[in-house]
Amino acid sequence: MEQRLVTDSVTSEKYLRIASISIAAYDYVLTLPAEWRFYRSQSSIFHISLACALFISIRYVSIMAMIVSNYGYFSTTYTQQACQRYYLVAPIFKAIQTMISQAILGIRTFNIARRDRRIGVVLALLYLLSTSAEWFADLFHGIPSVINGNCTSANAGKVLSTWFYYLAVILFDVVIVTVSTMHLLRYNPLSTRCAFSFPSLWSLNHRY
């Protein structure tokens, strides 16, 4: 019975991974025209805006994170020695992806707060604490795990490092959303200024 549950869990994970890859590929193809228009709106390829740089970073780091994670999971040729050199690649890309995403949210919140210096200092400190905790949790107690030739990072200790990682991410998001909401509520809902705030809030919150 227990073996059947494990098999069903592994099968479900494979289907979910394939579904996520399909959705990501569809989304990438669908948004290519918008990406091209965004590039063309820049003054020069050597003088791109901060928004464009962050867009490129989150888009293609996310793609790399998905590729390296699924390559290690679906591969059937890894040895223990080869996995020893590869197993941290996916967690590193995941941590970098989270850092970029949180930088986007932090900058957006700073702009919503009218570039208040005190808010900026708090957000910068929160960002440093959150990303430090995420890197520590992502790489702490990780060991190479080879099962049927695939290579993933497993937890060697009793510490729930994955739980701690997502706790840091959630706490950062909660603080960011709270600060953003408090400042957005100060705007007049009927003003043009507010009308432009909410679409930009959605667009920057859309994580590729």
pLDDT in tens, 60-88: 999 999 999 999 888 888 888 888 888 88
Q: What is the mean pLDDT of residues 47-58?
A: 92
What is residue 144's predicted lDDT score, i.e. its pLDDT?
83
* 25 and 88 together in one domain: no
Is 91 inside any structural domain?
Answer: yes
pLDDT over 50 (residue 196): no
Count CA atoms within 13 Å of residue 139 on its CB side: 12
Length of the chain: 208
Rounded to two decimals, what is the model's pTM?
A: 0.80
Residue 72 lies in domain: 53-205
pLDDT over 70 (residue 191): no
* 35 and 83 together in one domain: no
Domain count, the chain: 2
Is 125 inside any structural domain?
Answer: yes
* 19 and 73 together in one domain: no
DSSP output for 9-37? HHHHHHHHHHHHHHHHHHHHHHHHHHHHH
* 7 and 102 together in one domain: no
Residue whose C-alpha is closest to residue 146's, from 66, 64, 86: 86
Q: What is the mean pLDDT of residues 135-144?
A: 82
DSSP output for 73-130? HH-S---HHHHHHHTTHHHHHHHHHHHHHHHHHHHHHHHHTTT-HHHHHHHHHHHHHH
Is 195 inside any structural domain?
Answer: yes
